Amino acid sequence: MFSSDYFDRRVEEIISAISQKNKIIYSSISYAYKSGGKRIRPRFCLLCSELIKDNSHQDDEKITLSSICVELLHTASLMLDDVVDNSNMRRGLPSVNAVFGNKLAVISASYLIGLISKIISDLGNIDLVKKFSETSKLMAEGEALEFNIMLQTTYDLSRNFILENYFEVIKKKTSSLFSLSAVIPSIIYSKTEYLDLFAELGTLTGMAFQIKDDILDFTSDKIGKPSMKDLKEGKLTLPIILSDHYDSVVNIMKKYVDESGFSIPDPDAEKIYYLVLSGGGIEKAEKYLESVFNQIQEILEKDIFKRKKEDFGKFIKFIVERDF
Tens digit of pLDDT at every position of the chain (324 positions): 678 889 999 999 999 999 999 999 999 999 999 987 889 999 999 999 999 998 878 899 999 999 999 999 999 999 999 999 888 989 889 999 999 999 999 999 999 999 999 999 999 999 999 999 999 999 999 999 998 898 878 889 999 999 999 999 999 999 999 999 999 999 999 999 999 999 999 999 999 999 999 999 999 875 444 478 888 888 899 999 999 999 999 999 988 887 566 788 889 999 999 999 999 999 999 999 999 999 999 999 999 999 999 999 999 999 999 988
Q: Within 13 Å, how many C-alpha atoms sit on residue 54's CB side?
A: 7
105: exposed, middle or buried (Cβ count in 10 Å: 0-12, 13-18, 19+): buried
Report the alpha-carbon distance of residue 123 to residue 117 in Å, rounded. Answer: 10
What local confidence, expressed as pLDDT, does residue 223 receive? 47
Q: Cβ atoms within 10 A of the Cβ of 292, count?
A: 23
DSSP tally for the chain: helices H, then strands E: 16, 4
For the chain, the domains span 4-321
Q: What is the DSSP string of 198-217?
A: HHHHHHHHHHHHHHHHHHHH
Backbone angles phi, psi at 93, to 5 degrees: -125, 160
Report the alpha-carbon distance of residue 275 to residue 271 in Å, rounded. Answer: 6
Report the CATH superfamily, name and number, of domain 4-321: Farnesyl Diphosphate Synthase (1.10.600.10)
Q: CA dist 198 to 89, 135, 178, 185, Å?
A: 33, 15, 10, 9
Rounded to 10 degrees, what is the CA torsion of 123, 129, 135, 136?
Answer: 90
Q: For residue 117, how far is the Cα from the chain centroid?
A: 19
Q: Whats the size of the chain, residue-wise?
A: 324
Residues in contact with 141: Cβ distance below 8 Å, sequence separation at least 6, in sequence order? 172
271: exposed, middle or buried (Cβ count in 10 Å: 0-12, 13-18, 19+): middle
What local confidence, expressed as pLDDT, does residue 222 receive? 56
SS3 150: strand
Residues in contact with 288: Cβ distance below 8 Å, sequence separation at least 6, in sequence order? 211, 238, 242
- For 11, the enclosing helix (H) or strand (E) is helix 4-16
- Nearest 5°: the CA angle 168, 203, 216 is 75
SS3 262: strand
Report the alpha-carbon distance of residue 81 to residue 76 in Å, rounded. Answer: 9
